[in-house]
Amino acid sequence: MLELDADKRITAEQALAHPYLEKYADPSDEPTSSLYDQSFEDMDLPVERWKELVFKEVLNFVPQQHAHIGGEPQA
């Protein structure tokens, strides 16, 4: 379960069926989701481009800060 490589890691469904978690899982009440697309993680980009992409992703989680980036500090 604690495998960083997604190709080697068990699925969420498999993890919930694991004896360690079975007392917390309810097979009749388990939502499913689409597969995670990790293709962007395999892109061969310069470090500066990765920094830019990560920064933009962070801004998606703190949109109120977006207008203040590169501008005047907040009062």
**Are 32 and 7 part of one and the same domain?**
yes
**Are 32 and 49 part of one and the same domain?**
no
Domain span holding position 1? 1-36
Average pLDDT over residues 2-28: 85
Phi-psi region of 9 (alpha: psi -120 to 50; beta: other; left: phi over 0): beta
**Are 10 and 27 part of one and the same domain?**
yes
Contact 75, 68 (CB under 8 A): no
Kindly tell me if the per-residue pLDDT of 17 is higher than 80: yes
Q: How many domains does the chain have?
A: 2
Tens of pLDDT, residue by residue over 26-65, are 878 877 778 878 887 788 999 999 999 889 888 888 766 6
**Are 9 and 31 part of one and the same domain?**
yes
d(CA 48, CA 63): 22
**Are 1 and 32 part of one and the same domain?**
yes
* Phi, psi of 71, deg, nearest 5: -115, -150
